[in-house]
Amino acid sequence: MSKRMYLSTKDGEYQVFENNGCPVSVIEALIKQGLQFNPKTDETFKGFKINDIQPIVDEIKNEFFSKLEKGSKVADFTSQFVNKNGELKEDKELYMTAYYILNNSYLFELYNLIQFLEPYIDFKKSSRFDDIFVLKNDADVTISMC
């Protein structure tokens, strides 16, 4: 069974990272925030209130640029519209393809996370230009891995 990491608010929940893709650096950052979790013996945790979202933001950025440096086509969506022979696909639906790319691509993972957390982010202390995001002091955001 695959493990998934979710952020939860009163507005809903959002899966962060791919299935079985929880980075060790994020777990370590959560432990520094007070999470009682032993990576050698524990497999799941639920409802831990996070104060600092930046380790998750940094990991999403690092993963994207790492894939890009390794030659992954994380920012090339040509295959969604063109077949292996270089011809346009017959079943090309622009709206649904764009929707799929927006919701399932590494390129938009950080954007989608910030959109989900927007009501809980203190934009007076954050910087979209520098990819620095600070949660409001009273933000009720929890994280679970199950």
Q: How many residues does the chain have?
A: 146
Task: Determine if the pTM surpasses 0.95.
Answer: no
Residue 84: per-residue pLDDT: 84
Residue % of the chain over a pLDDT of 90: 56
Q: What is the pLDDT of residues 58-77, one digit of tens each?
A: 999 998 998 889 988 888 88
What are the distances in angstroms from CA 136 to CA 7, 23, 90, 139? 15, 24, 48, 5
Query: How sure is the predictor about 51, in pLDDT bands with cuts at 50, 70 and 90?
Result: very high
> How many other CB atoms sit within 10 Å of the CB of residue 74?
17
The predicted-structure confidence for 78-121, as pLDDT tens digits, reads as follows 888 888 888 888 777 888 888 888 888 888 999 999 999 999 99
CA distance 31 to 97: 39
Sign of CA dihedral 88, 89, 95, 100: negative
